[in-house]
Structure 1
């Protein structure tokens, strides 16, 4: 090696960012230090004078891994490359985690003369990794579903709670986007608001209706937050949610209890009167004609007296089902009281309402209960007149119903139009 090359080698070693130490190859003496660059001295806290002539065993301590040291000694004995990680100790007694490799150095005749070691203090890296693992375990242990995506909304982490709620294994959703869980229950404006909030660096909070792997829906109170780097660029998004399906179901049950008839599941009279007023207001502002049908199960008292109230209840349930199946989705079917029902047909001309009422009458008459047999329905129909109140409308339909009963039952009567 020329003088210039030797000088270059010495400069490279002494100026290297990595810690470099060169020892002799005297295994019996422990391979003592001959050269250590400033980076090695800074890492260990020892000066070159304090290191020179001493074996690096001086850096070992209570937490130094014996298995790593045993492997190191075997490699040195066999003059082969070594690489490992363990805990070392500085001059002041503080510990650090070192990752290092050792290479044997031979002379021109192939005789082993030295070992050169390149080392790095990876304590901060290990600490960060441990903190990240702890954070991951903490996120995984929390009972709230947590989802982490990259800036392109590709899923990179889902905790156990999220997996349990959605039914998707983590391996199946990793790399996909949260669009996988869309239920179709939200409109474009909902997602536009989400994108706008996140793009401006703000959190987005809402109740989501999501779809599980098995196709079932669930409600989630969800908060989505952007994560930014030091330059303010969005690098990730984190979502924390809570499955509130049980609460939503309970609230719906309470609403149903307040608005639905317990036996038939139809609207109760209180809610029915509200719906009738709403339909009448719409009809008065040009929403189309409003027609109501009032119907009553014929000879219902005789059914109860002869077959008992359970049979009577069953008849009411069967009639309710036929009424629901016979009308449009927008129409309201109401249990008005006892065996009496009211059907509110908004935006329905009287001629179409008469056809519907007749079909209902025929379907009821054709139905056979397993115990009671055939039952029939009498119906009265009226269409809202200008300036007429809903009470007056119901009274006219009621009068038409009683006309049908007096006329022999199992028939429809239509109230005369009001001028």
Structure 2
């Protein structure tokens, strides 16, 4: 667990956004990690906040709505975004955009950034909707005020023809302004979204509504990047759409980090195969597939016979090498569709998709023999005992696992180095 925590800290410190990780305890959220950028933004060190309750470290968190969003995401697992206002002397001092996600571990990760300039632009645009004179010129002047920001600003006419881009757009995409002005926005199209995706985008903004989504766009030299995109329609005095203002932020590093954290949360740090959390999740998926398609599946649980003797005789480092070597051996002799993970200690679980109990017995007996004749880590001879269980109608995940565990126990009781099917 310490290695995993260290890896998480390194991962979140690598990205340019503010990042905080929380866990839910006794009706509050405890701060688990706080990256370097967040420490700089809040003028506070990690040591001052990690381990503290969120409401103690940041007393105003309930007032501006973030606490409720955290609670909602924790309860239903659905990602949410929220713009929050920060006050000073009873006046809005700044705005922050928060993106909240639930990690496989159950902890929450929050990415946040200052969006005060965005909000000032939106406010100006709102007032411009009530004016008729020099509208485009004023909008462009407002956008030019954002030339120094890392955020990308782009203005089009009602047909999606680009009329203005700020310097951040050219820096990110590699296009010159002369190449973009007069072009359609599909110049950034990556090919990673369906026609339905773009139909929904245009349907939303042409109906006069604001649009917000994460998109994959493409640079001039065909590099892909993730962008957090917001599009706002602008209207004339007759409520006819005249322009669209698009603001976006490159969040590629955040997306990559989320994937990295997800991997850290589902991979066993010692053996580099799936961990118990991931196996539980995979069994649930197989149960759902069975209930829909009636495809049989089995799981089998195995452990190393007399593993305590290995640890006692050669030491725990040797025991760890055996676990890693066994994991590699088994990984090389299972099907690509099989899902393999460490259940805990010297116990492992494999999920066999679309496999009957009879087929599973043949597969596991073959694996048992392979382990028996192999030399593990170049010097150790070991055997394994295996318990097989097939999923039956209306069983829960817990009942299925318990059935495999009981079969494994019988294999041990019957003399070890054998397969027993429930």
Give the TM interval when normalised to the shorter protein.
Answer: 0.5 to 0.7
Q: Which residue of structure 1 aligns with residue 342 of structure 2?
A: 335
Q: Take 2:186 and 2:371, find their aligned partners in 1: how far apart are those partners?
A: 46
| Structure 1 match to 2:421 | 415
Which of residues 188, 203, 207 is equivalent to 2:214? Answer: 207
SS at match of 1:195: helix
Higher Cα Rg, which structure: 1
Larger RCO of the pair (alpha carbons < 8 Å, separation 6+) = 2
Residue 316 of structure 1 pairs with residue 323 of structure 2: yes
Asked if structure 1 preserves the Cα contact closer than 8 Å seen for 2:388 and 2:408, the reply is yes
The count of aligned residue pairs is: 288
Give the Cα separation in 2 of the matches to 1:261 and 1:249. Answer: 20
Change (3 A) 1:384 1:145: same
1-side partners of 2:392 and 2:331: how far apart?
26
The counterpart of 1:348, out of the listed 332, 349, 355, is: 355
| CA deviation map 1:37-62 (0-9, x unaligned) | xxxxxxxxxxxxxxxxxxxxxxxxxx
The change in CA–CA distance for 1:257 and 1:148 in structure 2 (over 3 A counts) is: same
Change (3 A) 1:272 1:133: closer
Is 2:401 aligned against 1:394?
yes
Residue 150 of structure 1: how far off its partner (Å) = 4.3
Deviation at 1:336, TM superposition (A): 1.0
What corresponds to 1:384 in structure 2? 391
Alpha-carbon distance between aligned partners in 1 of 2:374 and 2:157, rounded to the nearest angstrom: 60
Contact residue 380 and residue 400 of structure 1 kept, 8 A: yes
Contact 1:399 1:415 in 2 (8 A): no
Instruction: Flag structure 2 segments of 5+ consecutive residues without an equivalent.
Output: 1-133
- What TM-score, normalized by structure 1, do the two folds share? 0.53
**CA shift for structure 1 position 339:** 1.8
Cα distance change, pair 362–150 in 1 and its aligned pair in 2 (3 A): farther
| TM-score where L is the length of structure 2 | 0.52
1:366 & 1:211 partners in 2: Cα distance? 52
3-state SS of the aligned residue for 1:288?
A: coil
CA contact (8 A) 1:311 1:372 kept: no
CA contact (8 A) 2:371 2:384 kept: yes
Matched, 1:242 2:220: no
Q: Report what 2:151 is aligned to.
A: 144
Paired residues for 1:111-130 under 5 Å: none
In 2, Cα distance between equivalents of 1:378 and 1:335 = 15
Q: Is 1:161 the counterpart of 2:168 in the alignment?
A: yes
Report which stretch shifted further, 165-174 or 183-192: 165-174
**Contact 2:357 2:421 survives alignment (8 Å):** no
Residue pair 2:140, 2:164 contacting (<8 A) in 1 also = no
Matched, 1:295 2:302: yes
Please report how far the alpha carbon of residue 289 of structure 1 lies from its aligned counterpart in structure 2 after TM superposition. Answer: 1.7
Where in structure 1 are there 5+ consecutive unaligned residues?
1-126
SS of corresponding position for 2:209: coil
Distance in 1 between residues matched to 2:228 and 2:212, nearest whole Å: 8
* 1:143–1:371 distance in 2 versus 1, CA, 3 Å: same
